[in-house]
Amino acid sequence: MSKIEQVLKIADQNGIIRTRDIEKAGISRNYLYKMCKDKQLIKLSRGLYMHPDMPESENFNIIEVAKKIPNSVICLISALTFYEVTTQISHEVWIAIPKGAWRPCIDYPPLNITFVSEPAYSFGIQEQTINGVAVKIYSLEKTIADCFKFRNKIGLDVAIEGLKEAWISRNISMDKLVEAANISRISKIIRPYLEAIV
């Protein structure tokens, strides 16, 4: 198998590839430049490439962030959008980062960063595969709890809308939501809203 075929195989397996993925396989980064020039790969941004046949995705920005910032978790508005329980349109990718971690600095896409301490940061992380890329995103229940916790940041109306839509679509477990609310220490805040919809 040629080096170009190896790079294409890695791109097919990973969806989006980083320069380090190629170097880890013992292939020079010069192949990436040549393959972009020959239109065998598309350069997304510095150090990120994709196969030209990769299907378009409305979640492309969160895929890009997942590759660029591996310790980030998609949260709040971006997670609500992923689960289709909001009418909000955000031009930023909302991510959670462990409290005390370095603040990521990327040119694109724009980020809205929330620093979260343990155990709330680790609770409810799920891995979704989008276009072949593993993306860490909070469960719907954790997302709803976080929306109430950060209601001053996103708006109480957005949190209530997310809760109602999740409940109507029956995609939410009340037990898991109560557990997430306890972890996020917002049980008293969310309780009246839960009682109103049940």
Indicate the pTM of the whole model: 0.77
The matching CATH number, chosen from 3.30.110, 3.30.460, 3.40.1350, 3.40.50, for 60-197 is 3.30.460
Q: Tell me the pLDDT tens digit for each residue of 92-132.
A: 999 999 999 999 888 888 999 999 999 999 999 999 988 77
DSSP string, 62-124: HHHHHHH-TT-EE-HHHHHHHTT------SSEEEEEETTSPPP--SSS-EEEEEE-TTTTTTT
Please tell me the distance from the alpha carbon of residue 157 to that of residue 138, in angstroms, as a whole number: 20
Give the model's pLDDT for residue 55.
65
Q: Tell me the pLDDT tens digit for each residue of 139-167.
A: 999 999 999 999 999 999 999 999 999 99
Q: What is the mean pLDDT of the chain?
A: 88
The b/e string for 45-68 (b: 16+ C-beta within 10 A; e otherwise) is eeebbbbeebeeeebbbbbbbbbb
Give the model's pLDDT for residue 83.
93
Crossing angle between the packed helical segments 140-149 and 187-197, to the nearest 10 degrees: 120
Give the model's pLDDT for residue 27.
85
Please tell me the distance from the alpha carbon of residue 110 to that of residue 141, in angstroms, as a whole number: 25
Please tell me the distance from the alpha carbon of residue 55 to that of residue 29, in angstroms, as a whole number: 24
Alpha carbon 103 to its chain's center: 16
The b/e string for 129-157 (b: 16+ C-beta within 10 A; e otherwise) is ebbbbebbbbbbbbbbbbbbbbbeebeee
Residue 128 is classified by DSSP as: E
